[in-house]
Amino acid sequence: MVSVHNRKFISADPEKCVGCQICEYACSYSKEKVFNPIKSRIRAVRVNQVANMAVTCRLCEEPACVAACPRNALSQSKENGSILIDKDKCNGCGWCIEACDYGAMMLHPETKTVYTCDLCKDKTEGPQCVKWCPEEALTIVTSDVLAQKARLSAIKKLFNEKP
């Protein structure tokens, strides 16, 4: 199993995210060949004009969604930590949706099974939302690197260096 330290997930920088929903379009098109936010694995959330952020699967350690599934339809990929869904076992009961604190697990409008971010592992160029985000607000990154970045930017601010 890939260690939680090496697990890369899609992170949105709320400072940079402008709520344009391009990630939703890129995702739904990449996965389903249509533009439809309700078929996107990543969702842009605008609470008000100044509070914008896109949310998707965090690849949690001991993921609550996997634990919640009574039919063993969910498991965590040993390779990259993403959540694998056995569509044959999933009956759309929604316990994993309730269990996820981030709203990253969703029920598909047509298949009636759950789906979530798979990090576009079939794409050589990586996650499509990251590729298309015009604000460079999305990155595929580990928690450790996020922490490094946060530290750097805090210290730069302290010394009035350019970010």
Partner 1 sequence: MLIYFFTAYTPKFVGGTGLLGYAGKVLHVNLTTASSHVKKLDEATAKKYIGGIGLGMKLYWSNSKVGVDPLSSENPFVLAVGPISGTMFPTGGSGHAFVSKSPVTNLLGTSVSRGTFGAEFKRAGYDAVVITGKAEKPSYLWIDDDSIQILDASALWGKSPEEVEDAIRVEIGDFYVRVASIGVAGENLSKIACIVNDRTRVAGRTGLGAVMGSKNLKAIAVRGTMDVSVSKPDEFFSLVKDFHERMKGPAVQKYRTMGSTENLVHLNDMFCVPTRNYNDSHFQLAENIGSSVINERFVVKIIGCNSCAMRCEHEVLVREGIYKDTLTRIEYDSLWAFGPNLGVDRLDVIIKAIERCTYYGLDTQSVGGVIGFIMDCHGKGLLKNNSAAVLLEELGFVPYFGNADVIIPLIEHMAVREGIGDILADGVKVAAEKLGSDGDDVDAFGSLAQHVKGLEATGYDLRCLKTTALSVAVSFRGADHSRSGAFMLDLSGKVDRLKAEVGRGKLVEELEDIYNLIDSFIICKNAKGTLYKDVEDLAKLYSAVTGKEITSEELKLAGQRIETLARLINIREGLTRKDDTLPWKVLNQPITDNNCPTKGQIVTQEELNLMLDDYYTARGWTLKGTPTKKTLQQLELHELKNITITTKKEEG
Residue closer to partner 1 (CB basis): 60 or 114: 114
Judged by phi (left if over 0) then psi (alpha if -120 to 50, else beta), residue 76 lies in beta
* Stretch touching partner 1 by CB under 8 A, among 28-36, 70-78, 119-127, 142-150: 28-36
Residue closer to partner 1 (CB basis): 1 or 51: 51
Q: Which of residues 88-147 bind partner 1 (CB under 8 A)?
A: 109-110, 132, 134-135
Cβ–Cβ < 8 Å for 44, 21: yes
162 scored as a contact of partner 1 (CB under 8 A): no
3-state secondary structure of 103: coil
With CB under 8 A as the contact rule, the residue among 1, 5, 18, 161 that binds partner 1 is 18
DSSP state of 113: S
Residue closer to partner 1 (CB basis): 49 or 124: 49
Q: 75: part of which helix (H) or strand (E)? A: strand 74-76
Q: Site mask, partner 1, residues 35-74, x = CB under 8 A?
A: xxxxx------x-xxx-x----------------------
163 scored as a contact of partner 1 (CB under 8 A): no
Q: How far is CA 155 from CA 43, 99, 141, in A?
A: 31, 36, 21
154 scored as a contact of partner 1 (CB under 8 A): no
Cβ–Cβ < 8 Å for 9, 57: yes
DSSP state of 7: -
Say how many residues touch partner 1, by CB under 8 A. Answer: 26
